[in-house]
Amino acid sequence: RAIQRDRTQRPLSAPPAEAVVARLTEIAQPATLAQVSYFHGLGLRARLLTLPVMVALVLSLLWRQLGSISELVRVVHTEAVLWAPPLRDLTQQALAQRLRTLPAVLFGRVLQTILPLLQSRWQGRQRPLPPPVAWAYAHFTAVLIADGSTLDGLLRKIGLLRDAVQAPLAGRMLAVLDLASRLPRQVWYDADPHGHDARFWDRWLSAVPSGALVLFDLGFTDFARWATLAARNVTWLTRAKKNLKYEAVKVLVHTPMVQDRIVWIGEGATRQRVRLIEVQAHGTIYRYLTNALDLAQLPTAQAVALYPQRWRVEDAFAIVKRLLGLAYFYCGAENAIEMQVW
């Protein structure tokens, strides 16, 4: 779980290196300025805390891991943060109010503007990929991972949470990530931390392009949605439940350690043919399902090697929560949480 440190006990964080400031400014400021017209279209007034200023402040809160909003206010009274100049008249109350009321969709639009740039920069690095991942990228238009993650608990000293018996969780996010780079294609937020990942199906279906391969876990077991992916020419790979009911049709591979078969699953409108791959390793039988019925499209060995790569999404969530500080929220309002997620 999260590191629930009280950062208010830490001294003021030193300004980041000039190279870091330059890189963050180069990436984030143009994407922020591109949303100013949308900002005005929402009828929002250009007051002291404009969208470019708010993005700079929230980004500095997270990147510098400042102790609190009040500490950020003390910092901006005397120094510039990223591209925002010193704000000597800024108050803690004004900043907290802006975090609760400035539409978080603006931050989401900034993120969506930045992601293609980050993806293109990553592709230019030409880093070597694991052989199964390199094979997948040579045979599919995209290789994606879909998964959800529960956000961590809010500190009860924040606002209306002071009198709460137990600190509530901040919500849940779901991301569709590029397998190789671990950069998100899309990210969604839901304030209910206890809901099932299946509620995100309709949202992330539209984020998967035709000809892609997508990996997901048991939380997305839904025969009807699987059929929808197949109809959109999307190949999927997931784990099979232990109580899966199926009817074997054809044996593709049969060895003492591996069994690969085409089977019928579902009933009525959801009845469909899929491949059931069973592999015995280290005394355990691993079972996978995919709609790639042709061995030439997805060989057994590649399917078995690719599914463990789904864990890269867990690595991505760990980086965001632990290294980038999403385990700590500076404001407990739903709008502010979503703003910090983006």
Q: What does each of the 342 residues of the chain score in pLDDT, given as a tens digit?
A: 444 455 555 555 666 788 888 999 999 999 999 998 888 888 877 678 899 999 999 999 888 888 788 889 999 999 999 999 999 999 999 999 999 999 999 999 999 999 999 999 998 887 888 999 999 999 999 999 999 888 887 755 555 455 555 667 888 889 999 999 989 999 999 888 887 888 888 888 888 999 999 999 988 999 999 999 999 999 999 999 989 999 999 999 999 999 999 999 999 999 999 999 999 988 899 999 999 999 999 999 999 999 999 988 888 888 888 777 777 788 888 899 999 999
| Strand pairing category for 143-150 and 213-215 | parallel
- For residues 199 and 219, the answer to whether their CB atoms sit within 8 Å is no
- For residues 176 and 186, the answer to whether their CB atoms sit within 8 Å is yes
Q: What is the pLDDT of residue 2?
A: 40
Q: What is the pLDDT of residue 41?
A: 86
**Residue 253: CB partners within 8 Å, gap ≥ 6?**
259, 260, 295, 300
**Residue 216: CB partners within 8 Å, gap ≥ 6?**
145, 146, 147, 236, 238, 310
Give CA–CA dist 342/339, Å, rounded.
Answer: 5
What phi and psi, each to the nearest 5 degrees, are found at residue 277?
-110, 125
Q: What is the pLDDT of residue 192?
A: 87
Report helix, strand or coil for 62: helix
Q: What is the pLDDT of residue 270?
A: 92
Q: What is the pLDDT of residue 68?
A: 82
Instruction: Give the predicted TM-score (pTM) of the model.
Output: 0.84
Give CA–CA dist 72/271, Å, rounded.
Answer: 57
> Can you spell out the DSSP letters for 287-329?
EEEES---TTTS-HHHHHHHGGGGGHHHHHHHIIIIIS-TT--
